Structure 1
């Protein structure tokens, strides 16, 4: 009986982890920047992404903690690694594996001090939203949501406001999973950027928020029951947080990414960029350790990630466990 209980617990954990995820790769132009590998040792990892511990979600109880900032307290790694792009450029994020549906997508930025992002943990009312999308079409209970795109393709593309003043910034991607009634799950990750260009604009203070502080458990989009009678007929979803900054000094917008919408407004179908022949991409190896062999890395602990598409960590498991494939995007030591 004890064996079967342990087996059931392991299967339950695998099912839970396989339904969670985080941003694993950032693509700017033809350059890919590897994200953090949360289940591997921090030793030797260098990434534009802030360190975080697991694919597990944050919950309503975490809204008052600094962990809601970047899936940790926002503390920098001190590696000096950031990705450079011009204002008006796009940045594509690729998740390590699928997450729950339905879900909203929210993307924020924060200006770092002139000394750079390595000395900045994202505290204070410094965050402004550059994109968000929630319900795209249909009803809340039975409709198409922005997060469906990430479940289906694992990708999301957003444009940096063209008028944004140059400098060091954090970018924060967040999925808000709404599959459990009144018990949403938050999946935020942050990365360091250096924005270039001739822009001069910054968002007004009225659109700046802090983490924690931007969300409340009583916000309609958080205190939300996807299974309620009202959700079966409602055709708009109130996305939490401030309005999207549209790049002007005073105004807000309704979203600028590959799937855009606005809380309370009529939902719209997301537009996709035209498909064209893609140039060769370059993986920035300085932003992450190279794929390591079973003989040259610290074995991954049981239940840690050991493989999958875009994975760049150790593939050897600790004694007593084996690297087990769970789809194309995630393998786990079991």
Structure 2
């Protein structure tokens, strides 16, 4: 049975509905800035490198819709006209903008790549894309949920959000994406995704996928087989259907495993492993007593 404080936290989570809404405002590579799609901007967007989408309030894709085309690059997503040039083995920064305070929702961060093939990323049919995961990070530290500080129960997103910065009429959160060193050069869609698990106890986990066109250079030869994004998640997955408003000690990140093309740094240590080690040590101490 949940404690009174747990119930209060869960109620607060239910009331917090817009603190994750937003979009990728820009992508930065080696000090060079590339513009993202701005739905309400009255400026030329022919150089945008991020795919457009059509949600009224830049909100999430709900768990009930993870098997639809909207989960690929967001609702009614359309190809970006331009691409970001980036070298294999280097990094880029994805800068997300939100008018309400930045991405404050607790949850995992995931990065995927999909080859655009000969058609190029400006023309590729999104339902043909097959994504392989190059990064994931979920529950950083297990413990009791402690919104809004998230110092006891820590998540990939809440740790990034601790460096939130004001910008203009809103706030920005900056995520770093590492491009695998051995990836085959070519045109790829980067699928940057964060999740909000604050309403997962209500069956309403929130997905925030957005896509960026990349032109990757290098001499690598690896291009892993990907998976259909409309088959990556299910509403019943342990990492989607759960209650975080408890003393949570482990979390299973949804979706496929991180591809072998990614470096070890892109497979973050998991509290799950720490929890298992602790439990084994506790069991052995009892057995040996």
Q: Quick check: TM above 0.5?
A: yes
Distance 1:133 1:116, change over 3 A: same
Structure 1, gaps ≥5 residues long: 1-14, 268-334
Q: Any conservation in 2 of the 1:240–1:263 contact (CA below 8 Å)?
A: no
| Structure with more of its chain in helix, by fraction | 2
Question: For each residue in 1:42-82, what CA deviation from the matched residue of structure 2 results, as whole angstroms up to 9, or x when unmatched?
Answer: 974530100112421110122121011101344324x3x11
Look up the match of 2:87: 86
1:58 aligns with 2:83: no
2:140 paired with 1:136: yes
Measured in 1, the distance between the counterparts of 2:229 and 2:76 equals 9
CA contact (8 A) 1:87 1:166 kept: yes
The equivalent of 2:111 in structure 1 is 107
Instruction: Tell me the SS of whatever aligns to 1:95.
Output: strand
More deviation, 37-46/58-67: 37-46
Q: Which moved more, 1:83-92 or 1:53-62?
A: 53-62
1:323 is matched with: none
Deviations 1:209-247 (A, max 9, x none): 2121100011000011112xxx41x42210000111131
**Other-structure match for 1:313:** none
Give the number of aligned pairs.
238
| 8 A contact 2:24–2:97 mirrored in 1 | yes
Change (3 A) 1:266 1:160: farther
User: Compared with structure 1, are the counterparts of its residues 178 and 167 closer, same or farther at alpha carbon in structure 2 (3 Å cutoff)?
Assistant: same
1:304-323 paired onto structure 2 within 5 Å: none
Name the residue aligned to 1:31. Answer: 32
What whole-Å deviation, never above 9, does each CA across 1:117-166 have from its counterpart, x for those lacking one? 11213324610011010111132634111101332221111211100000
Give 3-state SS (helix, strand or coil) of 2:136's partner.
strand
Distance 1:254 1:161 in 2: 10
Q: Secondary structure at the match of 1:201?
A: coil
**Structure 2 CA distance, aligned partners of 1:42 and 1:64?**
34
Answering whether residue 213 of structure 2 is matched by residue 212 of structure 1, we say no
- The structural deviation recorded for 1:34 is 1.4
* CA distance 1:247–1:201, change in 2 (3 Å): same
The equivalences for 1:61-80 within 5 A come to 61-77=64-80, 79=81
Q: Is the 8 A contact 1:60 1:217 kept in 2?
A: yes
Q: Separation in 2 of the partners of 1:199 and 1:73? A: 33
Gaps of 5+ in 2: 1-15, 146-151, 164-172, 276-289
**Deviation, structure 1 residue 16:** 4.3
Q: 1:49 — aligned with what?
A: 50
Choose which of 236, 240, 243 in structure 1 pairs with 2:254.
240
Shift of 1:112: 0.6
The residue aligned with 1:146 is 156
Contact 2:84 2:215 (8 Å CA) reproduced = yes
1:159 aligns with 2:178: yes
Question: What secondary structure sits across from 1:106 in the alignment?
Answer: strand
Query: 2:90, 2:181 within 8 Å by CA — same for their partners in 1?
Result: yes
Residues in 1 aligned to 2:270 and 2:120: alpha-carbon distance in whole angstroms: 32
Tell me the residue number matched to 1:168: 187
